[in-house]
Amino acid sequence: MNFQVTLKTAATLAAFGTTAAFASSDVIPSENDTFSKWGEESGWTIYVDDTRGSCLIERVDENNNVVQMGLTKDQEMGYLGVFTQNDIGLKGKKENIILSLDGNVYEAKAYKKTKHLAEGYTGGYILANNPQFVEDVMKKYDMTVFPEKESGFTVSLDGTLKAIEAARTCNTEQNS
């Protein structure tokens, strides 16, 4: 299937900050962290990363794609992880990807996750510090990953607005 899309924006929005610290295990949750379920909201599960004292949300959509969102340890940036059973052709540990949220196009560096994934899944994390991207994730319903490639796929973002608001409440509780 080919996910060719007409870009509604005149330019790709640079939505993601870069940081050398991403390679550090302090940026995203580690396989050694412990998690407890905090609650559920709009089809998303909210977890507390007990090791880091922060919260994240996770959802498996109707196509078995897994989406995770949370804050970096320093809470300076957000991360978004997408994992799929499709062969999406990620080659290296870090590569440029393009995301489309209802025609708003963002370019990011994806950091491939290879360890401790469920059988048959592949994917990675991106870091975001662009308020427009966060708003789009909260208010749009679909995100197309690699919209210009045949390996492109769409993940559902249904319920993210309320789930992110719940995760913010969770984070406030953890930090008080």
| In-domain check, residue 91 | yes
Those residues whose C-beta lies under 8 Å from the C-beta of residue 106, and which sit 6 or more positions away, are: 12, 13, 14, 15, 16, 98, 99, 100, 130, 133
- Which residue shows structure tokens 């990363």? 49
Whole-number Å distance between alpha carbons of 120 and 146: 19
Contact 130, 116 (CB under 8 A): no
pLDDT of residue 10: 25
Give 34's contacts (C-beta < 8 A, 6+ positions apart): 49, 50, 51
Expressed as residue numbers, the domain containing 29 is: 13-174
Instruction: Give the pair of three-digit tokens for residue 27.
Output: 């940026």
Kindly state whether residue 62 falls inside one of the protein's structural domains: yes
Measured in whole angstroms, the distance separating CA 15 from the mean position of its chain's CA atoms is 13
Give the pairing of strands 122-128 and 54-60: unpaired
Mean pLDDT by 10 residues, the chain (176 residues): 28 38 55 89 94 90 89 83 78 79 86 70 84 91 79 88 95 89
CATH number at residue 162: 2.60.40.1880
CA-based radius of gyration for the chain: 15
DSSP 63-95: TS-EEEEEE-TTSSSEEEEEEESS-----SSEE
Q: Examine residue 2 and state whether it is found in any structural domain, yes or no.
A: no
Any domain includes 4:
no
pLDDT of residue 159: 96
Residue 22: predicted pLDDT? 40
DSSP, collapsed to helix, strand or coil, labels residue 13 as strand
Helix (H) or strand (E) holding 109: strand 104-113
Give the separation between CA 129 and CA 139, rounded to whole angstroms. 16
Task: Confirm whether 1 is domain-assigned.
Answer: no
Q: State the pLDDT at residue 26.
A: 56
Q: Is residue 6 part of a domain?
A: no
pTM above 0.95, yes or no: no
User: Is 67 inside any structural domain?
Assistant: yes
Question: How many domains in the chain?
Answer: 1
Q: What is the DSSP letter of 20?
A: G
